[in-house]
């Protein structure tokens, strides 16, 4: 497990982390630190059956009836969701942050796990991976961090 960020300052960036659409919990190997500022980037696509999307997810009128069954009800289908220590009370809509170009300030310390926002019992029909890159921002310097 890596703590993302040098406690003495300096920016840090992770190698790409592969997030599999079929996995209910993808362990990134990164630990976020309370009060630290992070930016998330992603590359690639994943699929909900045949619906292709990136980490920002998708909306589909025909699925509106099932939106309340998603793990994170108010996030788009297949939005990339982060969760500290698998505690669903400490979720981060990473897909929304990426789409808006916004940074995230960690409210707590915790191991970062990620998943595609879907219904718990429908992960079997998901496939593909996206790459997640996490940058910590502090004073302008960047240090490459490799998840372990």
Q: Catalogue all structural domains in the chain, each as residue range(s) with its CATH number.
A: 2-139 (2.60.120.430)
**Cα 38-109-35 angle, rounded to 5 deg:** 50
pLDDT in tens, 7-20: 434 455 666 799 99
Angstrom distances, CA of residue 121 to CA of 11, 58, 63, 88: 39, 19, 15, 16
- The reported pLDDT for the residue numbered 127 is 97
pLDDT in tens, 78-93: 999 999 999 989 999 9
Measured in whole angstroms, how far is the alpha carbon of residue 7 from the centre of its chain?
A: 23
Name residue 70's beta-bridge partners.
119
Going by their DSSP bridges, the two strands 104-105 and 26-32 should be labelled as: unpaired
Q: What is the pTM of this model?
A: 0.85
């Amino acid at each position: 497990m890596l703590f993302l960020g040098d406690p003495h300052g300096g920016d840090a960036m992770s190698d790409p982390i592969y997030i599999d659409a079929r996995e209910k919990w993808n362990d990134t190997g990164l630990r976020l630190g309370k009060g630290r500022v992070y930016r998330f980037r992603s590359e690639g696509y994943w699929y909900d059956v045949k619906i292709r999307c990136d980490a920002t997810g998708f909306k589909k009128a025909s699925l509106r009836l099932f939106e309340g069954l998603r793990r994170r009800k108010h996030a788009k289908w297949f939005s990339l969701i982060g969760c500290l220590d698998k505690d669903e009370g400490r979720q981060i809509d990473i897909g929304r942050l990426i789409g808006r170009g916004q940074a995230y300030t960690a409210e707590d310390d915790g191991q970062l796990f990620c998943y595609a926002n879907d219904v718990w019992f429908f992960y079997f029909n998901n496939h593909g991976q996206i790459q997640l890159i996490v940058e910590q921002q502090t004073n302008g310097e960047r240090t490459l961090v490799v998840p372990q």
